[in-house]
Amino acid sequence: MGNLKFHIDDTCVKCGACAVDCPVQCITKGETQFNIGKGCIGCGDCYSICPVGAVKMSKREDHKT
């Protein structure tokens, strides 16, 4: 899943399940929702565990010049 990127939208209920399940601990609690940091390896664990579907995935686009 390394070619996918993940982000958490504003439907996050701040339960923390994603942060607990993250194998690289790159998910942190923000003011209004949890946030996925740059250390994300694209494993999708957070996407799978989120009880409200707040974790979204999209295709990673490499910007090489």
Please state, in angstroms and as integers, the Cα–Cα distance from residue 45 to each residue in 13, 30, 50, 54, 62, following that order: 17, 19, 9, 13, 22
Kind of pairing between the strands at 55-59 and 4-8: antiparallel
Q: What is the pLDDT of residues 7-34, one digit of tens each?
A: 999 999 999 999 999 999 999 999 999 9
Supply the pTM of this predicted model: 0.82
Q: What is the DSSP letter of 11?
A: T
Domains belonging to the chain, first-starting first, are: 4-56 (3.30.70.20)
Question: In the numeric block, which tokens belong to residue 7?
Answer: 């982000």
pLDDT band at 65 (very low <50, low <70, confident <90, very high): very low
